[in-house]
Amino acid sequence: MEYPEPVVFVVDDDDFVRTALARLIRSAGHRVEVFASAGEFLAGVNAAACPACLVLDVQLPDINGLQLQRKLDGAVPIIFITGYGDIPMSVHAMKAGASDFLAKPVSEADLLSAIELALGRAKQLHASRRERDKLCGLLDRLTSREREVLALIATGRLNKQIADELGTVEQTIKAHRARVMRKMEVTSLAQLVHTLDRFDMLSAADSRRPD
C-alpha cells in the first residue's frame, strides 16, 4: 500500500497497546496504521512509499523486532518499545540504526518527541531516495557509448581529447555530448558535474545504511 502523506506505523501484538498508541499518535495529528505482527506489516506495507517511521515492539509472535529491523535494512526509522529490553539489546538496536529505544510503559511525551524526530529523519531519507531514483532514471537513458563520453566529460576532457581516447572524430563526440546533456536534463558542464556529484553522494549514503 502507498500513502500520500507521512505515516506512523505501529507493530505490537497487544491489542490494548496498539489501540492506545494509535489514539495517542492520532491525537498529535499524525496518520497511523497498526499491525499485530511483523509478518502482517511486511505483507501490507511498502515502507519506502512515503516519509514514515515505525513504532515497533521487540517481542512479537512471529519475527521479533530486531529481526524485522534487519529485514527493513534502514528503509524506515524505527522507534523500539519493549517491556523486556536490556542494555545489550538496546545497544544492538541503536548500532543497527534505530531512532530510539523506549521502555514500557512508554511516556507519552517521550514517544511523541521520538516520533517527531523520526519523521523528520524519514522526510530527509524519502527526499534523498526520490532524488537518487530520478538520477538513476536519467543515467539509464544513456547508451553505453554515451556513458563512456559522460565519464570523460566529467574529468574535464575536451571533445578532441575524448575523440582521440575513444578512437573517433570530434564531430561524433560533439553529437554524443549534446545527447548526454539533453538526456541528463542539464544545460552546462557545471550542472552536469553537479548532477553526477549528487548521484555519487546519494549512492554512497545509501550504501552506508546499517547492515
* The one-letter amino acid at 140: D
pLDDT for 152 equals 92
Q: Give the tens place of pLDDT for each residue, 132-156.
A: 889 999 999 999 999 999 999 988 8
Give the single-character DSSP code of 62: S
Q: Is residue 208's pLDDT more than 60?
A: no
Collapsing DSSP states into helix, strand and coil, what is residue 54?
strand
Q: Cell numbers 557545471 correspond to what residue?
A: 190
Q: Cβ contacts of residue 77 below 8 Å, gap of 6+?
A: 53, 54, 97, 98, 99, 118, 119, 121, 122, 125
| Separation between Cα atoms, residue 163 and residue 157, nearest integer Å | 10
Domains and CATH numbers, the chain: 7-126 (3.40.50.2300), 135-207 (1.10.10.10)
209: alpha, beta or left? (left if phi > 0; alpha if psi -120 to 50): beta
Q: What share of the chain is helix, strand, coil (3-state, %, to 5)?
A: 60, 10, 30
Give the single-character DSSP code of 97: T
Q: Which helix (H) or strand (E) holds 46?
A: none
Q: Is residue 129's pLDDT more than 90?
A: no
| Separation between Cα atoms, residue 99 and residue 121, nearest integer Å | 9
Q: Which of 18-22, 84-88, 170-174 is the least confident region?
A: 84-88
Supply the mean pLDDT for the chain: 88
Could you tell me the pTM of the whole model? 0.74
